[in-house]
Structures are given as structure tokens and as C-alpha cells.
Amino acid sequence: MIELTYSRASDAADAIRRAEAEGARYLGGGTNLVDLMRETVEGRTRYPMLTRAIVAGASAQIRNMATVGGNLLQRTRCSYFYDTDGSRCNKRSPGEGCDASEGFNRMHAILGASPACVATHPSDMCVALVALDAVVHLQSTAGERTVALGDLHRLPGDRPDVETVLEPGELITAVQLPPSDFAAHSTYRKVRDRSSYAFALVSVAAALELDGGTIADVRLALGGVAPKPWRAWRAEAALRGRPATEASFLQAADAELAGARPLAGNAFKVELARRTIAAVLQQLTEGARP
């Protein structure tokens, strides 16, 4: 049996001080996820892809009790990780082996995975945040620093047990969204096995700025396909300056997915991601539902 004690910190400095105790861990539950969108209607419509990503995640009950920092730091999701009695998992026991890579891996990664681990990061919110160039503020006894959200999560490599670049005891104190001229023209689409309360098979966060029929600028990120929220840099580069047509969208998706390494059970995700990217960009081009 593991003994557990609970103490409530008065502020960030107090939390960091208390966290120095041996075995101490931060516990979320203070900052409400939906606060991000509840603040003002203006905030909601300023970053529609973020609002849509938040309301696509989990259930209302879980969103009410979740925290922004906790969402960022949730573990990647894999049923073999949970199966402590019957499965091997390099994330649980480094060096033990991975039963998912040759097992039931329909939900698993097609991008960024390694032979050691093929689990996906389950967050919806992080997909929008990485597309919006969010910056994570950190604080510890060593001081304060910031990390781009895109650099917060590590790819598994041969150390899947280490998921982020956080130092021991570091506390997330804020997530900052830089101002964006075109985030208002953005959206988030989540494809899942049922229409609500399920993890993404593939999700797409996208923002689009058009100059006539030409793509002036674009932000694109994918969820459900990688061990971290996946910024689609290759697709973005392939889109800038191109005409906003389905052919351009599919070409850009192909550029991003050329690096896909599907497993036995999830090859469908490559085509699903390709079509979803194209559909979301088409939707933004037509100025449909933001």
C-alpha cells in the first residue's frame, strides 16, 4: 500500500517549496479547462479552433474538473500501458519491450513513434495550442523559464518513460497564446469511433489566411496520430503561396504523411488524416462554420 498525504499550496512559490519533499507531486484541480473559453464570448470567437478542441475533449464532467496544466501533462494513451499484469510496456518498465507494436494497435501512432513505443498523446486542446504557437510558462526553485508548447513533449525514442522536457519539480504556471491575426479563421475537427466522448482517431486543427485565391499563411496540427501534438510543418510549407484548391490540400497532406509509418492495425489513419486535412482546409476556404 502506498501512503499518501495531501497539502494545499497558497501560491506557486509555496507549491514549489512543498514539492521539494521526497516523492512530492503536483496535483491539478484548480484551473478549470473551460475557463479558457468561458472567460468572454470574445475569447471564444478569437480562437475558435481552441474552443472547438476543448469542447471536443472528454465529457463535460471531466472538463469541469480538469486543469490546463494537467491536460498538457497527461500521459500518452495505450491499453498495454494500463495492463500491468499481462503486458510488456517500455513506458512502464523501460527496456521490457512493447506489446502494442505487434499487438492491437488501431488507436496508435503513425508519425513520430519508435520501436520502443507507439502510443499517442490523447489531448485535443494541445493540438490547437501547438497550432497557435502557445508558450508554456514554468517555475521552479531554479527560477522561471518558458518553453514553446511544440517543444514541451518529447518523442519516445528509446526513452518513452520520459514524456516531457520538464525538470523534476517544475510547475506549469501559465499557458500564453501569442496574438494572431488569422486565428479567428480557424477550426478543429475530430474524427472518432462515436460522435461524442471518445478519443480521436485523427483530429485536425487548422487556421487559414487567404489572399484572393492564394494561401497567404496557414497553421496546421494533427492529433491522434503521434506521441505528441503534431505540428504539420511540412504541410504548412507546401501550402504557403499555393492556390487554395483541393489539389493543393491533398498534395500538402501527402507531403506531411510521406513520413508516416503505419502499424498492422492503423494504416487506415494515413488516408483518414489525408482526407480530413483536405476537408478542413476546404471548409475554411469556403468560410463555412468557423
Contacts with another protein, residue ranges (CB under 8 A): 2, 4-6, 8, 27, 29, 34, 37-38, 41, 44-45, 48, 51-52, 55-56, 58-62, 64-65, 195-197, 289-290
Q: How far is the CB of 44 from another protein (least distance, A)?
A: 5
- Using an 8 Å Cβ cutoff, are 184 and 48 in contact? yes
Residues ≥6 apart with Cβ < 8 Å to 177: 47, 50, 129, 132, 133, 134
Residue whose CB is less far from another protein, 52 or 274: 52
CA distance 188 to 153: 21
Q: How far is CA 115 from CA 28, 91, 137, 159, in A?
A: 32, 12, 32, 11
Smaller CB separation from another protein, 53 or 113? 53
| Closest CB 25 distance from another protein, rounded Å | 12
Q: Which is nearer to another protein, 80 or 249 (CB)?
A: 80
In the complex, what is the shortest distance from the CB of residue 181 to another protein, in angstroms, rounded to a whole number? 18
Report, in Å, the least distance between residue 4 CB and another protein. Answer: 4
Nearest distance in Å: CB 111, another protein: 25
> Starting from the edge strand earliest in sequence, which strands make up the sheet with 143-148, in order?
143-148, 135-140, 171-176
CA-based torsion, 176, 180, 183, 188: positive or negative: negative
> How many residues would you count in the chain?
290
Nearer to another protein, 29 or 143 (CB): 29
Quick one: how far is CA 212 from the chain centroid? 31
Nearest-angstrom CA–CA distance, 15 and 257 = 42
52 vs 153 by CB, closer to another protein: 52
Show the CA angle centred on residue 165, arms to residues 163 and 167, nearest 5°: 110
**Least Å from the CB of residue 191 to another protein:** 13
Tell me whether residue 52 or residue 121 sits nearer to another protein (CB atom). Answer: 52
